[in-house]
Amino acid sequence: MKFKYRSGQQPLDGFTLKRGVGQGGFGEVYFAVSDGGKEVALKLLLGHSEVELRGIANCLNMKHPNLVHVYDLREDSEGQQWLVMEYVLGETMSAVLNRHPSGLPLSLTKEWFAALARAVGHLHDRGVVHRDLKPANIFVEAGTLKVGDYGLCKTISTSQRQTRTVGTVHYMAPEVSTGNYSQKIDQYACGVILHEMLTGKIPFDGESDGEILMKHLTATPDLTGVPEPFRPIIAKALDKNPNKRYASMAEMAQAVEPIQLPQAVPIGVRSSAIGPVAAPPGLILTPDPELPKTQPIPERLKAPPIPAKVPEKTPLPVARPVPPPTIRDRLTGLLGGMLAAPIIAALGLVPYGLLSNPSDWTGLMKLFLVSTALAWAVLLGSGQATFRSTDGWSRRLRLGILGLGIGAFAFWLDGWTMPRAASSSVSNAESFFFGTITMPSDVFSTGVRYLLYFGGVMAAGRWWRAAARDRKERFSLFPLLAAGFWSGALLFLWPWEAGSPAAGIVPIVLAIVAVQAVSPWTPSAKVQSAKKLRLGRA
């Protein structure tokens, strides 16, 4: 459903559109809010003549508890006409009928029809015909029925005729085909609505509008599904001759009001040898004082009691175990996670870069590479670990070794000289590892702290929980807090001469964010049932 205007636009001065509500032959309806905060319904009128606009103006000051209030008729800068109406926070009668395909309860039908008759009668008393009565134009708000779209009604003229066909074909009186728009067409529509409230069906239906119109003109409505007391009322309201219908809506409402609803038959009022006789539908039986009281049934004539049938217990469905992911699935998931991790790391560096406002983008590139390497290490080191894996120490060792490698990678990115093979010209003070490699002593100390810092952080935390498929939540703040804690607790190992410790803390936090974002997650049955429960309550 495409509307002419979008949310947030202000085609009419003083009102902001929020969303489109509905469309029809008369125009488009929007939910809007005034500059003062009042919620209203705005109807954009399309294709209306000056005569019809004058008829709408006659409805502006019409007030009734069962009518949707019409506040104003306004014109925008483009010359379009807008009707400002009360916004009804409820549902339409058509939505209620859709939930009751066999009809509404009789008590509710009587209550709603009385309110409908009062609203339509109020219009008729002021010389206005609705012309488009149908369940979609009748609203229910907090148990109160309100008739809408009467702002597009027509004031009754002396000729009571017009050339333009208005209305919905299922509720259209036969005389509409000749341009006769008297009050009786609203009464005919109310008869169709009463039929639909009682049975859940309309009296005339077909595969095309032409077929339905022909049935309105010639066919007699089938009232076999209507409760007996209502049949003559609906038959009179749907008479092909408008003059044979009720004189007014008040007269039709008075015919519906005294109908008594079926109720339980008093015991012993109508009985036989086999017990009380049930009353036919729509008939109420009352005690007759002239009839003798029912005699007790002899024991020999009583039927033996029928033992109550104990319902068989339906076996509970057996849950089938979910097969574990195949090697191909694991490799595909791992590869997809490793490809997506750099993207998450880069996005995470955006707010850090805006806050730090670096003059040299080289530092951000180093943070991005170390974060990506750390995320890859957690994904590779976690393997197929579950949230509560018992082989924690072996995984800590594996992650710690990978952390040593990331420490060497960070050491190299910061421009430090890597160790090389020792030569005879190098002094013993610069020779380590039994003289096989050489490195200045201060550089060697810095490199060792790189290794110990990243290796220690990777071995300290249970980072495989962030990548576990059966973790409690898709994304949790606890692993981020753990990353911040361990990266801060091991800062005594950080090579301070290499620069700010943010170069160690930020990549670890970003890596855990990326790992949670790219790792597959299968919610447990408990989580799924909790979601279903919340949806059911909503």
Which DSSP symbol is given to 287?
-
**Exposed, middle or buried: residue 234 (CB in 10 Å: 0-12, 13-18, 19+)?**
buried
Host H or E run for residue 50: helix 50-57
What are the structure tokens assigned to 334, written together?
A: 């791992």
CA–CA dist 196, 226 (Å, integer) = 9
Contact 520, 491 (CB under 8 A): no
- How large is the greatest C-alpha to C-alpha distance in the chain, in angstroms? 136
Nearest to 45 by CA among 153, 132, 152: 152
* Nearest Cα residue to 458 out of 468, 466, 446: 466
How many Å apart are CA 462 and CA 399, to the nearest integer?
9
Q: At what angle do helices 392-413 and 441-460 cross, to 10 degrees?
A: 140
User: How large is the C-alpha radius of gyration of the chain?
Assistant: 40
- In the numeric block, the tokens 């003289």 are attached to 435
Phi, psi of 379 (to 5 degrees): -65, -45
Q: CA-to-CA distance for 237 and 173, rounded, in angstroms?
A: 10
Q: Amino acid identity, residue 416? A: W
Q: Which positions ≥6 away from 465 have C-beta within 8 Å?
A: 385, 387, 471, 479
Q: How many CA atoms lie within 13 A of 263 on its CB side?
A: 9
**Cβ atoms of 493 and 453 closer than 8 Å:** yes
**Inter-CA distances, 177 with 169, 185, 187, 268, Å:** 11, 11, 16, 55
Residue type, 316: L
DSSP 228: G
- CB < 8 Å & 24+ apart, contacts of 106-112: 106/198, 106/227, 106/261, 106/262, 107/261, 109/194, 109/197, 109/198, 110/256, 110/257, 110/259, 110/261, 112/140, 112/145, 112/197
What is the SS3 string spanning 99-144? HCCCCCCHHHHHHHHHHHHHHHHHHHHCCEECCCCCHHHEEEECCE
Question: Is there a catalytic annotation at residue 222?
Answer: no
Annotated active-site residue in 35, 76, 125, 132:
132
* Residues known to be catalytic: 132
